[in-house]
Amino acid sequence: MRNMYDQPRLDSGEPSSLFADGKASRPPPPGSVAHAMGDLAATSSGRRGDEVTTQLQAAQAATALPPLTAGLLRRGQERYGIYCLPCHSPLGDGDGPVVRRGFPAPPSYHQERLRQAPDRHFYDVITQGYGVMVPYADRVAPDDRWAIVAYIRALQLSQHARLDALPPALQAALRALPPPAAASAAGEGNGR
């Protein structure tokens, strides 16, 4: 009777000498399209989880940001704070808390190369990883990846906004500020 409960089978992720690649899980046939995915699909034999594939297909087809809204930026800021801030820092300059403890520094979002990069570049890096950055496709939903990209663009704008593009009242307030001290211009006193 115990053999009914402890059947000789292999779970996904387990090694197997039966196949040449050494894995028990088999890849889907070429050209197949997933009907369902995610935790719901795994626990319901694929009867649930189809909304995940629809969301993923729509996000994969997109090449640029969705229309910007305050809600999208708030969601992006929240997700950025959870997944990106530890390495990239609150400003996006690549000096996050784990970098200060010895982890390799990621590039600053404020360098010209990344300011000119297409939106899809950031989405793909979040999805697939890059360099020492691990892929976040299993942790960050496709819509949240676009929200993070929107927030990254807001961070870039925050450090590179042209004064003449700001509202007149804000221009006047910024012109009234004292000039930055020579020490801060030389990079001193910034906590590094």
Domain count, the chain: 1
- Full-model pTM: 0.66
Domain assignment of residue 77, given as a range: 62-159
Instruction: Determine, yes or no, domain membership for 184.
Output: no
Q: What is the pLDDT of residues 63-107, one digit of tens each?
A: 788 899 999 999 999 999 999 999 999 999 999 999 999 999 999
Q: Choose the weakest-confidence range: 116-125, 141-150, 157-166.
A: 157-166
Banded model confidence at residue 37, pLDDT cuts 50, 70, 90 = low
The rounded percent of the chain whose pLDDT value lies above 90 is 44
CB 95 within 8 A of CB 181: no
Instruction: Determine, yes or no, domain membership for 164.
Output: no
Q: Choose the weakest-confidence range: 19-23, 26-30, 178-182.
A: 178-182
Q: How far is CA 11 from CA 15, 16, 91, 188, in A?
A: 9, 10, 43, 56
Banded model confidence at residue 191, pLDDT cuts 50, 70, 90 = very low
Instruction: Determine, yes or no, domain membership for 138.
Output: yes
Q: What is the mean pLDDT of the chain?
A: 83
User: Residue 75 is part of a domain; what is its CATH number?
Assistant: 1.10.760.10
